[in-house]
Amino acid sequence: MALTQIQAQIVQLLQKSESVLIMPSAPPDGDSIGSALALFLVLKKMGKEATVVCNEPVPEVLHFLPTINVIGDNLSASNDFVVTLDCNNAKIDTIKTNLEENKVNIIITPKSGVLSENEVSFHYGPSKYDLIVVVDAGDLSQLGKLYEDNAGLFSQLPVINIDHHVSNNHFGKINLIDIMASSTTELLVPILEELSHQADKELINENVATLLLAGIITDTGSFQNANTSPKAFASAAHLLGYGARQQEIIQHVYKTKNLTMLKLWGRVLSKIQYDKLYRIVWSTISANDFQETNSTSEETGDIIDELMTNAPGADVVLLIKERSPGLVSCSVRTTKSSVDANVIAEMFDGGGHVQAAGFKIQSDNLGETEQNIMQKVREYQSKRLKIDPGQNPEILDANELQQLGVFKHPAWVNHVAKKSDERLVEDVLPEIQKVTGGDEPSIQKEYHQLNDKIDLAQKNKKNKKKKLFAGLEQVAKKEEVFQTPKVVPENIVENISKEQQEVDIEPGVTYKFEE
């Protein structure tokens, strides 16, 4: 399939560059990290220098991804600030410096002639990078301190911006933005394949394919979210042909839940509220919730989806949390495309997709921030639904929702049951009891019944998915959407002699020490 002009420009720049800085958005997720690491591995195979830096720690749930340990948190670009003096009108005798409190004085004594401020200029020293690639970020502010402390670097070097968010502000020299794409990794597939084609060697191996598939799976919620498209399925099927480890991704991302996460989920679900008039469901996570459940903000990723499960009749679903002291973030989901999550997020200088977005607010008062957010979201819904401003909200809490049969605990037990670990389920039964008000024996009985249903459903789903992927691959071949990849097992061996003091370890290479 022929590349677009923008895709071809990106391929050309990547080929010409020797040292590439790759920056995923923050907070990092499966798509941003998968994109960054897949590009990193391909560039290393091409013999390029590549560096990945991220402003925030990678969530523990993603630590299974290949080469995750290469991601740094410090941008070591050149910090040299150069003061240049034009000496055409004067000859220099001496130069010295002294410190005066927090100031450095540079003292230049001419041998002859006179110096003036017009002869002095300033600039930064040369950078160790020649190209920046930003992935899955709608705005440079999503790079956090890494951008704020190195803003000059982004004006010195060409920036490639690859993203799929509708809120992207086209900050790059080259912008590959496709809001119809399921993920940023989906956008990278044809680019990496073209690099492989022009290099005349296989650059996409099992690890690269797994990273790319991780982005698609996590951003589509395992093909359940509204952004799931036929092309997303076709791309996933195509990556399976390269050897992408789909079950490994599913196991780590969706089937592994630790006890601290489940306790946190219990807290959130117990605080769920539903504004029936304005059709809004929301919950909050305070710093105290994180502390008492011994959990972190990294463990909140799937909670918003759980709120969606328990939000029949709602248009807007919000999860408001204290990410760190002085910072409150909010995840926004909508249950239909006519309700624009991106528009809601933009009211708070955030952004995202039509049905999934987010924003951050500098605040040290969670309760006050929650009220401000709810007021603005109600105003948005009031215009949509033509609600009389004089009408008071009808707010139901978790207990009232449970009594009405709207909010029930089996959906949460479902998440626990997926782990197929009865001992873990028994450990969290007291936490479930707090949320549901149910007695322990009835919950145990329901768990066993539910687990049997889940096992059967998972078997059926697995068979259907196999058939679906096989069918999509056939469609892709027939329509020549992709070239069928050859899976060539790598068997590169390099010998290391006793005389060698230092060796750079490359992915996919076996190193043998000579006797």
Domains and CATH numbers, the chain: 5-77+128-251 (3.90.1640.10), 81-124 (no CATH), 259-407 (3.10.310.30)
Give the residue ranges of DSSP H helices in 386-439: 398-403, 410-417, 422-436
Residue of higher predicted confidence among 489 and 196: 196
Per cent of the chain over pLDDT 70 is 74
pLDDT on residue 31: 96
Containing H/E element for 187?
helix 184-199
Q: Taking residues 380-389, what's their average pLDDT?
A: 89
pLDDT 10s digits, 264-293: 888 888 888 999 899 999 999 999 999 988
Find out whether 160 and 131 touch, Cβ atoms under 8 Å. Answer: yes
**Residue 403 — very low, low, confident or very high, per pLDDT cuts 50/70/90?**
low
Please name the amino acid found at residue 86: D
Q: Taking residues 459-486, what's their average pLDDT?
A: 50
pLDDT 10s digits, 420-463: 334 344 444 444 444 444 444 454 454 455 455 545 555 555 55
pLDDT on residue 411: 42
Q: Taking residues 244-265, what's their average pLDDT?
A: 87
pLDDT on residue 504: 52
Q: How are beta strands 81-85 and 120-124 bridged, if at all?
A: antiparallel
Residue 447 CB coordination number (10 Å)? 20
Please name the amino acid found at residue 209: A
pLDDT on residue 204: 97
pLDDT on residue 435: 44
Q: Taking residues 182-193, what's their average pLDDT?
A: 97
Q: Which residues pair with 95 in a beta bridge?
A: 108
Q: Taking residues 104-116, what's their average pLDDT?
A: 82
pLDDT on residue 511: 42
Q: Kindly give the interhelix angle for 259-270 and 422-436, rounded to the nearest 10 degrees.
A: 20
pLDDT on residue 405: 57
Per cent of the chain over pLDDT 90 is 46
Weakest mean pLDDT among 131-135, 286-290, 345-349, 410-414: 410-414
pLDDT on residue 488: 39
- Pair of tokens at residue 50: 């590549």
Between CA 23 and CA 318 the distance in angstroms is 28
pLDDT on residue 420: 35
pLDDT on residue 32: 97
